[in-house]
Amino acid sequence: MDIMGLLDAVVSHALASGHFERVNQHEPENAPGHGLTCSVWANQITPLRSSGLNSVTTRVSFTVRLQTLMFDPPDAIDPTMVAAVDDLCGAYVGDFTLGGLLREIDILGAHGQPLDVRAGYLQQDGTKYRVMDIAVPCIVNDLWEETP
């Protein structure tokens, strides 16, 4: 397994949810279009102490950002985003090995930050967006081989 395979698996859950106008496999530098957008990227890659003598177990944390323009009525924004967050978190917890690709999504944070959602606002290209970032920490056994 490689990190790109993990990225594809995390992205596939977002695509399958049906909530998004577009799903990006990068952190966008430019403002997305209208509708709810999802962007996924690798945020942090850290070797773990639980590694063996000839391979490295790794924590690969992905950021899954949900992003939408501010629109009227404002009371409709968060319920739409929370529904998408709820479906995605349910999918990641329900498939916590991503189909056997990894040991686990670190739901409760045994190896650092747990599965986590943070809401906020983002100013991008002069436009204000509502965002919700999901941290998806993936624990991968034997990601890299150690050879002398």
Full 3-state SS string of 110-137: CCCCCCEEEEEEEEECCEEEEEEEEEEE
pLDDT for residue 4 is more than 80: yes
Residue 94: predicted pLDDT: 97
Task: Please tell me what DSSP assigns to residue 8.
Answer: H
Options 1.10.8.870, 3.20.20.80, 3.40.50.720, 3.30.70.1700; CATH for 3-145 is 3.30.70.1700
pLDDT for residue 118 is more than 90: yes
pTM for this entry: 0.94
The predicted-structure confidence for 13-36, as pLDDT tens digits, reads as follows 999 999 999 999 999 999 888 899
pLDDT for residue 38 is more than 80: yes
